[in-house]
Amino acid sequence: MRTAQTPVGDFRSMMKPSNEFLQIVYGYWARRFGCDREDFLHPGTLVIQEDQLNGTGKIHLYHIDRMSIVRADPSLICQAGLSNGYDRDAGSLTVSLLQELIGVEVDTTFLDCYLDARDFKCFAARGNFTTRRLYGENDNPHLLNLYQACTEEDLDEAAINVDEPDPVIYGMFDGNQLVAYASHRYWEDVIADIGVLIHPGYRGRGLGKAVVSALCEWCIENEVV
């Protein structure tokens, strides 16, 4: 099955981030895709033939501000009549246009959201819960109990690697039981990708928002986006 995936949305439409904040986020994606930060401000398209996608029939389509980035199986690049490299005058490539060119099917869509410190408001869940940072071996039994209460699908969606805990983890406790978890892993050293996991018996009570809020507060204090 051919797939089109859109992992990055136009976050500028969701908030009005500072110029410094934009430069940090744009800088990360520019380094990842080998382009300039200013390219994101123009409706061009960057096409990257990915050898690791060879034979998979997959296309990954990113939209960052006004720019489109295509990572694809090389055979699909040829089939779509696209040229490898950056074309500033090509316009922004859309999923609907890809569907017209080669009949792709949308498999998964992601939207990455970024938090500007100026927009942050701490959130506390109702109830007698304790929130704190988790540390190493002392808290491993709590983590293991939470993992065992959840399904493998839950762990996959939270992007949790049981054998390699993320560097910063916050948890919410009901008494001695860990019932909510939020952690981040670094994209380079300035952007934190957050994962969240809630005990099945405690979902729908705002604990996810509260534990992510605690983690975000730590990130802001430590100048992590």
Buried b vs exposed e over 57-88: b needs ≥16 C-beta within 10 Å?
A: ebbbbbbbbebbbbbbbeebbeebebeeebee
The pLDDT assigned to 190 comes to: 66
pLDDT at 1: 32
Q: What integer pLDDT is reported at residue 156 of this predicted model?
A: 84
pLDDT at 15 over 70: no
CA atoms within 13 A on the CB side of 115: 21
pLDDT at position 131 is 96
**Chain segment 206-220, per-residue pLDDT in tens:** 999 999 999 989 888
What's the pLDDT tens digit per position in 104-158?
777 777 777 777 778 888 898 999 999 999 987 889 999 999 999 999 888 888 8
Examine the pLDDT at 176 and tell me if it is beyond 90. yes
Amino acid at 27: G
Domains and their CATH numbers in the chain: 3-109 (no CATH), 120-221 (3.40.630.30)
